[in-house]
A and B are shown apart, each in its own frame.
Chain A
Amino acid sequence: MGKILVFTEAANGKLKRSSIELLTAAKKSGQPFIAAIAGSQAAGAAPALSSSGAAEVHTFEDGKFDQYNPELYTAALSDLITKSGATVVLASASALGKDLFPRIAARLKSAVLSDCTELSFNGDKAVVKRPVYSGKAFAKVTFDQSPIQFVLMRANQLPTEELSGGSAAVTKHAAPAGDLKTLIKDVVKGTSEKLDLTEANIIVSGGRGLKEAANFKMLNDLADVLGATVGASRAVVDAGWVSHGMQVGQTGKTVAPSLYIAVGVSGAIQHLAGMSGSKVIVAINSDPNAPIFQKATYGIVGDAFEIVPKLTEEFKKALHK
Chain B
Amino acid sequence: MKIVVCLKQVPDTETKIKLGADGQSIDTNGIKWVVNPYDEYAVEEAVKTRDAHPGSQVHVLCVGPKKRTADAVRTALAMGADEGILIDAPENLDPATTAQALAKAIQAEGGAQLIFAGKLAIDDNASSVPQMVAELLSIPHTTVVSKLAVTPESVTAERDVEGGAKEVAQLALPAVIAANKGLNMPRYASLPGIMKAKKKVLKELDLAGLGVNTVALTKTLSLELPADKPPVKMLTGDSGAQAAQLVQLLRDEAKVL
Contact of B216 among A139, A144, A318 (CB under 8 A): A144
Contact A259 B250 (CB under 8 A): yes
Using A110-B217, A111-B218, A145-B216 as known contacts, list a sample of 6 further A-B pairs with CB atoms less than 8 Å apart, ordered by residue number in A. Answer: A133-B11, A140-B221, A143-B217, A143-B219, A259-B257, A302-B242
What is the interface residue range for chain A against chain B? 35 or more
Contacts of B17 in A (CB 8 A): 133, 136-137
Contact A188 B217 (CB under 8 A): no
For the complex, give the distance between the alpha carbons of A102 and B256 in Å: 34
Chain B: CB-nearest residue to A127: B221
Contact A181 B140 (CB under 8 A): yes
Residue-by-residue, is B157-191 near A (CB-CB < 8 Å gives 1, otherwise 0)?
A: 01111111111111110010000011000000000
Residue-by-residue, is B74-102 near A (CB-CB < 8 Å gives 1, otherwise 0)?
A: 00000000000000000000111001000
Contacts of B143 in A (CB 8 A): 98-99
- A177: Cβ under 8 A from any B Cβ: no
Residue-by-residue, is A117-156 near B (CB-CB < 8 Å gives 1, otherwise 0)?
A: 0000000000100111111111111111110000000000
Contact A280 B136 (CB under 8 A): no
What is the interface of chain B, defined by CB distance below 8 A to chain A? 11, 13-14, 16-17, 19, 26, 37-38, 94-96, 99, 122-129, 131-132, 134-136, 139-144, 146, 156, 158-172, 175, 181-182, 215-226, 229-230, 232-235, 239-240, 242-244, 246-251, 254, 256-257
Given contacts A140-B221, A307-B243, contact A103 B135 (CB under 8 A): yes
Q: Which stretch, A43-51, A55-63, A290-298, touches the partner chain B?
A: A290-298
Contact B161 A103 (CB under 8 A): no
Contact A95 B161 (CB under 8 A): yes
Contact B164 A181 (CB under 8 A): no
Chain B: CB-nearest residue to A9: B162
Contact B168 A185 (CB under 8 A): yes
Contact B142 A182 (CB under 8 A): yes
- A301: Cβ under 8 A from any B Cβ: yes
Contacts of A273 in B (CB 8 A): 13, 122
A235 to chain B, nearest CB (A): 14
For the complex, give the distance between the alpha carbons of A67 and B142 in Å: 14
Contacts of B164 in A (CB 8 A): 190-192, 243, 245-246
8 residue pairs, one from A and one from B, having the closest CB atoms:
A190-B164, A102-B128, A111-B217, A196-B162, A190-B163, A106-B135, A95-B161, A106-B132
- A184: Cβ under 8 A from any B Cβ: yes
Chain A: CB-nearest residue to B231: A294
A-B contact pairs, 20 of them (CB 8 A): A102-B132, A111-B95, A132-B125, A133-B123, A136-B17, A137-B19, A144-B219, A146-B218, A181-B172, A182-B142, A183-B171, A187-B168, A190-B163, A244-B160, A251-B37, A273-B122, A298-B249, A299-B234, A303-B239, A310-B240
- A157: Cβ under 8 A from any B Cβ: no
Chain A: CB-nearest residue to B174: A181
For the complex, give the distance between the alpha carbons of A70 and B242 in Å: 50
Contact B122 A250 (CB under 8 A): yes
B97 to chain A, nearest CB (A): 9
A15 to chain B, nearest CB (A): 15
B102 to chain A, nearest CB (A): 11
Contacts of B170 in A (CB 8 A): 182-183, 185
- A94: Cβ under 8 A from any B Cβ: yes
Contact A250 B218 (CB under 8 A): no
Contacts of A134 in B (CB 8 A): 13, 122, 125
Given contacts A95-B161, A102-B131, A141-B221, contact A130 B257 (CB under 8 A): no
- A5: Cβ under 8 A from any B Cβ: no
For the complex, give the distance between the alpha carbons of A46 and B204 in Å: 52
Contact A70 B37 (CB under 8 A): no
Contact B19 A251 (CB under 8 A): no
Contacts of B235 in A (CB 8 A): 298-300
Contacts of B165 in A (CB 8 A): 187-190
Among A145-181, those with CB < 8 Å from B are 145-146, 180-181
Contacts of B171 in A (CB 8 A): 181-183
- A194: Cβ under 8 A from any B Cβ: yes
Given contacts A136-B225, A182-B170, A279-B256, contact A142 B243 (CB under 8 A): no
A250 to chain B, nearest CB (A): 6
Contact of A103 among B141, B163, B169, B239 (CB under 8 A): B141
Contact A115 B131 (CB under 8 A): no
Contacts of A259 in B (CB 8 A): 250, 254, 256-257
Among A234-267, those with CB < 8 Å from B are 243-247, 250-252, 254, 258-259
Contacts of B123 in A (CB 8 A): 132-133
- A23: Cβ under 8 A from any B Cβ: no
Contact B257 A318 (CB under 8 A): yes
Contact of A132 among B37, B124, B139, B161 (CB under 8 A): B124
Contact A298 B217 (CB under 8 A): no
Contact of A310 among B132, B172, B243 (CB under 8 A): B243
B91 to chain A, nearest CB (A): 13
Contact A132 B215 (CB under 8 A): no
Contact B132 A141 (CB under 8 A): no
Contact of A114 among B127, B139, B167, B182 (CB under 8 A): B127
For the complex, give the distance between the alpha carbons of A252 and B169 in Å: 22
For the complex, give the distance between the alpha carbons of A190 and B32 in Å: 38
Contact A269 B14 (CB under 8 A): yes
Contacts of A184 in B (CB 8 A): 167-169
